[in-house]
Chain A
Amino acid sequence: MAQRKMGKEMTVTSDGYHSKPTYVYKVVLLGSMAVGKSSLAFRYAKNSFRETMPTVGCSFFKQMIHLETANIMFEIWDTAGQEKYHSICHLYYRGARAALLVYDISRKETFNRAKLWLRELEKDFLHDEIVIILVGNKTDLATEREVTSEEGKEFARSKGLLHAETSAKSNHQVTDVFMTMPVQSQSWKKSRVDLRAPNSNQIKKCCKS
């Protein structure tokens, strides 16, 4: 795969965002079938919810956000939970700055499987190369909850992940999760002295204010 450029492009747009740098920020969504990955992406990009269908292979889209001093181009890779597509989706983890590891709070086995998905990620990334957020989706199904918030938090803590609970359906915490990612990358980078990762420089620049 062609290694993609990360980082700055100058953009001049008519809507007043003159000469602000644009940073590319790649995010992957992964997790078991039907946990709500596509719904989360759809909620974030379109701010709405509707019945989705299982993702075929993987699905790629871009979402530009305009901050005061920079634009961030989110490159979102929404992968399929289906086993037969694992190997193709896996190819496109490369270069990701953040991963949303999603499970469904109303189905315990999706939480258990999240642990396996995490192992996959750990094969590809050094621990400090990527921000991983463990996301328990479908909080609107509170009465059917099988995974408590504490369980989620505890597991995230033990693995050094961030944790959040969302509902794509009732729009709970979705934007927050997406917006946390670049910020987290930044604070993490600031705390590092030794910047060895090849793209780290640009990441550091990303979102600086």
Chain B
Amino acid sequence: MAADVHKKKGWEVPNGSLVPADGQHTERSESPTPGLAQGTEPGAGQEGTMFVHARSYEDLTSPEDAGVTSRIPEEGQGDEVDQTNMEQISKDFSELSTQLTGMALDLEEEMRQSKEDKLDLSPQTCRRDSVLSGKEEEDVTMDAWRMHQKHVFVLSEAGKPVYSRYGSEEALSSTMGVMMALVSFLEAEKNAIRSIHADGYKVVFVRRSPLVLVAVARTQQSEQEIAHELLYIYYQILSLLTWTQLNHIFQQKQNYDLRRLLAGSERITDNLLDLMARDPSFLMGAVRCLPMAAGVRDAVSASLQQARAKSLVFSILLSRNQLVSLVRKKDQFLHPIDLHLLFNLISSSSSFREGEAWTPICLPKFNSSGFFHAHISYLEQETDLCLLLVSTDREDFFTVSDCKRRFQERLRKRGVYHVLQEALRTPFYSISQVGIPDLRHFIYKSKSSGLFTSPEIEAPYVSEEEKERLLGLYQYLHSRAHNSSHPLKNIYFTGPNENLLAWVTSAFELYVCYSPLGTKAGAISTVNKLMKWIRKEEDRLFILTPQTY
């Protein structure tokens, strides 16, 4: 890739002049300057924030989660030792790679003869659902399976299969075995390297005792990003079981078959992986708001706030993975990762459209040892407005259910029901509103609020592949900007089909996509205009006055 990467060059950002966020900076300048302090950037909440201070991406790979992709060899180990290990690993992996690409050739032959009609299964028809639902299991000997962009496996430390993105865990157990051997090899050698590159693949291991998560990816993502996704999968599993229960189970019985407890929930994990491939929320570690007039949003928040109950911790109104309003108990902060897991849970199943669901859920970033209880329901049959009430008391269903009734009553009394429905009709805004000719798309994240905004993805990114390609470019820029050894403040990337620009400060992150016709100077000159536009629209695009109860 012809990346034109600058570190503190080109358009200068006086990094040293950045003022640390101290809550004193309440002035909201019309257009942000590079030296803008955190808390005053567009989208920053005026009265504090809704989320745990979201370091998000860094958070996942910070010391708590360290060792994921670290390439630094253990102290005392020379480079030579490392080198040998690397060779050994590569050799092992090439065997694994053979396993993956040419698994049991003679068996494949056999399948071809006996199951002629099944061979043209397209990947879409191959989604595995619950074991019992009678859906097709993906045949692991098929080309389609091999060609998937990213395989994800979860194993127990004893090597038992827990989850596989494509195809049944059973059929894959030989592959799992090889992976396990690799993992224990890595472990035995106390080698810090947890990712292997070979043959157009990246294999990334994340070990979170008692689980091992493995991705085999053909995507352009960095190991760091792949590890980040694997951690999401890990948190997803915790959200169903809690860390405490997971550990307890494996302490009792090392070779426990976890699939028993996860049965019926594979779909939630499948959905998370699909979502991560197309929704920038996960990459940004931030939450997107449904654009709407500030007055309407405030009325919704006030209604939510009034419909409280003692056991309620968070009241969240959302529409298709976009946040409408979030009201929280004083002093309790939600982590964006936990909110993403909740969004994913809701989007993974149409079953919430009927009646009122009541389910235990662990929010691992908030507290990985216990369950909250979530009341999930759609406001009306035909809308996408979903209300999520998070309670601490599992016996409180009826109290919480009554909160929903009161919330709806308030909405009606305030007369915002219809305006709200109206806002749902235009869940995205068009890039043309910004009025910059060569501008195609952008992602802007306010770091202090943990919220981001982004217009609808429009032509030429029409097909799913094109959309994912654009997200892939953002991923690439993001990984360059956040590279732990060489972080970059600003990047200008020229590609054959588009030019991109990334600008990361301590207050915000901006990723912009331009048509390939524009110049770098042109792009830089329009950034200011874009930022002014975001500032002008911020009360519609962000939640500036979060409420508590």
Q: Is B truly associated with A?
A: yes
Give B236-283 interface residues, CB cut-off 8 Å to A. Answer: 240-241, 260-265, 267
In contact, B354 and A33 (Cβ under 8 angstroms): no
Contact A107/B132 with A2-B399, A4-B398 known, Cβ cut-off 8 Å: yes
Whether A91 is near chain B, meaning CB under 8 Å from some CB there, is: yes
Which residues of B are found within 8 Å of A81, using beta-carbon distances? 264
Name A57's contact: one of B241, B358, B395 (CB within 8 Å): B358
Name B360's contact: one of A52, A57, A78, A92 (CB within 8 Å): A57
Whether A38 is near chain B, meaning CB under 8 Å from some CB there, is: yes
Cβ distance A24 to chain B, nearest Cβ, rounded Å? 12
Contact A88/B241 with A53-B350, A80-B264, A82-B263 known, Cβ cut-off 8 Å: no
Write the chain A residue with the least CB distance to B396: A1
**B residues neighboring A (CB under 8 Å):** 130, 132-133, 240-241, 260-265, 267, 345, 349-352, 354-360, 373-374, 376, 394-399, 401
Interface residues on A, range: 20 to 34
In contact, A60 and B356 (Cβ under 8 angstroms): yes
In contact, A88 and B351 (Cβ under 8 angstroms): no
In the complex, what distance in Å separates the CA atom of A73 from the CA atom of B358? 20
Give me 28 A-to-B residue pairs in the complex whose CB atoms sit less than 8 angstroms apart, sorted by A's number. A2-B398, A2-B399, A33-B264, A34-B132, A52-B350, A53-B351, A54-B264, A54-B267, A54-B349, A55-B357, A56-B351, A56-B352, A56-B357, A56-B376, A57-B357, A57-B358, A57-B374, A58-B357, A59-B356, A60-B356, A60-B358, A62-B355, A81-B264, A84-B240, A84-B261, A84-B262, A88-B358, A107-B132
In the complex, what distance in Å separates the CA atom of A58 from the CA atom of B351? 10
In contact, B359 and A58 (Cβ under 8 angstroms): yes
In the complex, what distance in Å separates the CA atom of A80 from the CA atom of B351? 11
In contact, B265 and A82 (Cβ under 8 angstroms): yes
In contact, A61 and B130 (Cβ under 8 angstroms): no
Whether A83 is near chain B, meaning CB under 8 Å from some CB there, is: yes
Cβ distance A9 to chain B, nearest Cβ, rounded Å? 15
**A residues neighboring B (CB under 8 Å):** 1-2, 4, 33-34, 38, 41-42, 45, 52-62, 76, 78, 80-85, 88, 91-92, 107
Which residues of B are found within 8 Å of A83, using beta-carbon distances? 260-261, 263
In the complex, what distance in Å separates the CA atom of A41 from the CA atom of B132? 19
Cβ distance A49 to chain B, nearest Cβ, rounded Å? 13
Which residues of A are found within 8 Å of B240, using beta-carbon distances? 84
Cβ distance B238 to chain A, nearest Cβ, rounded Å? 13
Which residues of B are found within 8 Å of A33, using beta-carbon distances? 130, 132, 263-264
Which residues of B are found within 8 Å of A80, using beta-carbon distances? 264
In the complex, what distance in Å separates the CA atom of A2 from the CA atom of B397? 9
In the complex, what distance in Å separates the CA atom of A85 from the CA atom of B373? 12
Which residues of A are found within 8 Å of B263, using beta-carbon distances? 33, 82-83
In the complex, what distance in Å separates the CA atom of A82 from the CA atom of B260? 9
Known: A88-B394, A91-B394. 7 other contacts (CB 8 A): A34-B133, A56-B351, A60-B355, A85-B359, A88-B359, A91-B395, A92-B358
In the complex, what distance in Å separates the CA atom of A80 from the CA atom of B357? 10
Which residues of A are found within 8 Å of B399, using beta-carbon distances? 2
Cβ distance A83 to chain B, nearest Cβ, rounded Å? 6
Which residues of B are found within 8 Å of A4, using beta-carbon distances? 398
Which residues of B are found within 8 Å of A59, using beta-carbon distances? 351, 354-358
In the complex, what distance in Å separates the CA atom of A179 from the CA atom of B401? 26
In the complex, what distance in Å separates the CA atom of A81 from the CA atom of B261? 11
In the complex, what distance in Å separates the CA atom of A57 from the CA atom of B240? 11
A-B pairs, top 5 by smallest CB distance, nearest first, are A57-B359, A61-B355, A34-B132, A54-B264, A1-B395
